[in-house]
């Protein structure tokens, strides 16, 4: 905001002993949050713009200490039988919008982050059913973020499906994805039918799912 940004406003509020400070949530862009990681510590919660209704509701309930409701369908029919909470880690704005639109058409709600560090932070902060992880991201790439998530899973024993998103299907990509702890793979641009299939495969449609082939059909 002009004259005084959100972080400065929070600091002013916290400095005034006469104010009964309520939980403070910040609505911000991925770029600003990445640049001000240290100052984020003063916030109760933050939501990345563009703000989705489901993400905003979950954030408000979190800071109020209330349980989030079971997600409901947003558009269309959810083929897995229930609406899922999806974490999308993707730094390209166009790809973010495309993937979000496709996921919502399938009936799922989406939280969007733009770096690997933010993906790990979101995973630690909120419960998700599946993660779509771009391989190439600034700050921390998708492989590193996946490894970090898997390390944390070692403590809880709960495994979350992580689907890699890559721009090209190159020889050796499958091995890299699996070595990093990813479960499956999607090439960009994302197609609705492929996205739907891979989500169904890893959210209960198959008892023993297998990774998709990395070889594109000619």
Taking only the tens place, the pLDDT of each residue in 136-146 is 898 888 988 99
The average confidence (pLDDT) of the chain is 76
> Under a CB-based contact definition with an 8 Å cutoff, are residues 142 and 89 in contact?
yes
| % of the chain exceeding 70 in pLDDT | 69
Q: Over the chain, what HEC string results?
A: CCCCCHHHHHHHHHHCCCCCCCCCEEEECHHHHHHCCCHHHHCCEEEECCCCHHHHHHHHHHHCCCCCCCCCCCCCCCCCCCCCEEEEECCCHHHHHHHHHHHHHCCCEEEEECCHHHHHHHHHHCCCCEEEEECCCCCCCHHHHHHHHHHHHHHHCCCCCEEEEECCCCCCHHHHHHHHCCCEEEECCCCHHHHHHHHHHHHHHCCCCCCCCCCCCC
170 vs 136, higher pLDDT: 136
Mean pLDDT of 72-89: 62
Tell whether the model's pLDDT for residue 31 goes beyond 90: no
Q: How many CB atoms lie under 10 A from the CB of residue 202?
A: 20
Tell whether the model's pLDDT for residue 99 goes beyond 80: yes
Question: pTM for the full model?
Answer: 0.58
Give the residue extent of every domain in the chain: 74-205
Q: Which fold has domain 74-205?
A: Rossmann fold (3.40.50)
């Amino acid at each position: 905001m002009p004259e005084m940004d959100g972080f400065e406003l929070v600091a002013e509020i916290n400095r005034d002993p006469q104010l009964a400070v309520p939980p403070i949530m910040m609505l911000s862009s991925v770029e600003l949050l990445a640049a001000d990681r240290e100052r984020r510590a003063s916030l109760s919660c933050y939501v990345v713009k563009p703000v989705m209704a489901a993400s905003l509701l979950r954030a408000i309930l979190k800071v109020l200490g209330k349980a989030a409701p079971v997600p409901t369908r947003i558009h269309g029919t959810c083929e897995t039988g229930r609406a899922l909470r999806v974490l999308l880690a993707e730094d390209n704005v166009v790809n973010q919008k495309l993937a979000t639109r496709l996921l919502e058409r399938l009936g799922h709600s989406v939280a969007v982050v733009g770096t690997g560090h933010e993906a790990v932070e979101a995973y630690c902060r909120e419960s998700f059913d599946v993660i779509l992880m771009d391989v190439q991201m600034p700050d921390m790439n998708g492989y590193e973020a996946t490894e970090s998530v898997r390390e944390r899973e070692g403590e809880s024993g709960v495994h979350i499906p992580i689907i890699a998103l890559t721009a090209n299907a190159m020889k050796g990509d499958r091995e890299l994805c699996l070595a990093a702890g990813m479960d499956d793979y999607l090439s960009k641009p994302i197609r609705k039918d492929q996205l739907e299939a891979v989500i169904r495969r890893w959210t209960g449609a198959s008892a023993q799912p297998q990774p998709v082939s990395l070889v594109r059909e000619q």
